[in-house]
Amino acid sequence: MIIEIDQNRLNGDIEALAAFSDAEAPAVTRVVFSEQDAKARACLKERCREAGLATREDAVGNTFARWVGTSAALPAVGTGSHVDAIPHAGKYDGVVGVLGGLEAIRALQRGGFRPERSIELVIFTSEEPTRFGIGCLGSRLMSGTLTPSAAAALQDPEGDTLEVVRKRAGFSGSLNEVRLPENYYSAWVELHIEQGPILEREGISLGLVTSIAAPASFRITIEGEGGHAGGRLMPGRRDALCAAAETILAVERIALGTGAIDTVGTVGICQVHPGAVNSIPSRVQLAVDLRDTDAARRDKVLREIEATCNEVGASRGVSIKLETINVDPPAQSSPRILAALTAACEHEGITFRTMVSRAYHDSSFIAQIAPIAMLFIPCRDGVSHRPDEYSSPEEISRGVQVLARTLASLSAGRES
């Protein structure tokens, strides 16, 4: 079977979707359950219907568009990604996996293919944590990684709960029904931009993701004692920021200390109270992000950071409290799906290499309920989450080509 990707049409779809934005072009801002998000969803559903796919939505707005196979009762083959975009982002993050997935299906249809297993395109709700503070909301619920009651209680910056906001956006029904039944997918593949520089630098067309790093994030609150910066003498001070400085450097030292290239630790936020030049800092909040492809190694780093916090607290006479925000598992790709991707690349004569995803994706959570793999395409300078995020139509096309051939092989259909 010859698979021909309609590059112009796909590019047109990407441009059309980018117009649903609360930021001026080329920036894209599309926060979950906003008016622009609703318009983008409507546009996508229309295109799925045009392709003859049967669409449905669950109670949190995850959207499923199914090309029904000849053995419709068999577990399906899934593909897809997200279309929400953080403020002032670009057009490709997530979108390439959704519109690319759709074009892969259309290309197979044009090629006269008939899938045995159904092929299902998924548009996940809120992969980005912008509104509710937690990423991959839709896929966490689908996989049972997040309980419906915990999800319902999540609040946006306005203080509205997910329960209220989703219903206002037209998604009723019970969140209890979002979780997918066991054996729903026999295989899952997500196409995504790399969001890193490796493929472009090495001049390689595609990345086959063998594992997705396990993220953990937590908040550290340090309480010391404030006072007048002049009146209060140095001996006996309990300066919360000095304790924070030691803690930040400890995070760096401990993450480096594993000696593993895949261990990364970052303190991305440091809030100082009261934040005046003539006042000793009395309270500091730090936000820490830890990632690793090996969950045990990451958890060991977490415990070491905790122990160091206790030491710093004791030696400086301050209280240091550590609160977990999320601790997620790493995902390993399925050898069977990687083999299908490899065969597809070889068949199409497209260069590829294996790689690790250090960013997490909806596939991290789908991995809890199905065999998964991801396929990366290069993006210019490795830039993502910025208006100048860019992948060329040719690069996207190559990814879709391999995705289509992989979906064909995983769905075990035949040409008619």
> How far is the C-alpha of 1 from the C-alpha of 243, rounded, in Å?
64
Closest approach, Cβ 134 to Zn ion, in A, equals 15
How far lies 338's CA from each of 4, 189, 402, in Å?
Answer: 22, 10, 12
| 227: alpha, beta or left? (left if phi > 0; alpha if psi -120 to 50) | left
> Which of 190/200 has CB closer to Zn ion?
190
Q: Are strands 185-193 and 76-82 parallel, antiparallel or unpaired?
A: parallel
Could you count the other beta carbons within 10 Å of the beta carbon of residue 83? 26
Residues 171 and 126 sit within 8 Å (Cβ to Cβ): no
Q: What φ, ψ does residue 304 adopt, rounded to 5°?
A: -65, -40
> Which of 258/363 has CB closer to Zn ion?
363
Closest approach, Cβ 94 to Zn ion, in A, equals 4
Closest approach, Cβ 261 to Zn ion, in A, equals 23
Closest approach, Cβ 88 to Zn ion, in A, equals 15
> Which of 98/280 has CB closer to Zn ion?
98
> How far is the C-alpha of 35 from the C-alpha of 25, rounded, in Å?
17
Peptide bond into 26 cis (omega under 30): yes
> Which of 238/291 has CB closer to Zn ion?
291
> Which residues have CB under 8 Å from 52's CB, separation 6+?
67, 109
Residues that bind Zn ion (CB under 5 A): 93-94
* Minimal CB distance residue for Zn ion: 94
> Which of 193/302 has CB closer to Zn ion?
193
> Which of 93/200 has CB closer to Zn ion?
93
Closest approach, Cβ 223 to Zn ion, in A, equals 37
Closest approach, Cβ 92 to Zn ion, in A, equals 9
> Which of 239/395 has CB closer to Zn ion?
395
Closest approach, Cβ 190 to Zn ion, in A, equals 9
Peptide bond into 393 cis (omega under 30): no
User: How would you label 253-284 residue by residue, b for 16+ Cβ within 10 Å and e otherwise?
Assistant: ebbeebeeebbbbebeeeebbeeeeeebbbbb
Closest approach, Cβ 192 to Zn ion, in A, equals 6
Grouping H, G, I as helix, E, B as strand and the rest as coil, residue 57 is: strand
Closest approach, Cβ 287 to Zn ion, in A, equals 21
> Which of 40/242 has CB closer to Zn ion?
40
Residues 100 and 106 sit within 8 Å (Cβ to Cβ): no
> Which of 34/126 has CB closer to Zn ion?
126
Q: At 243, list the tokens.
A: 């304790």
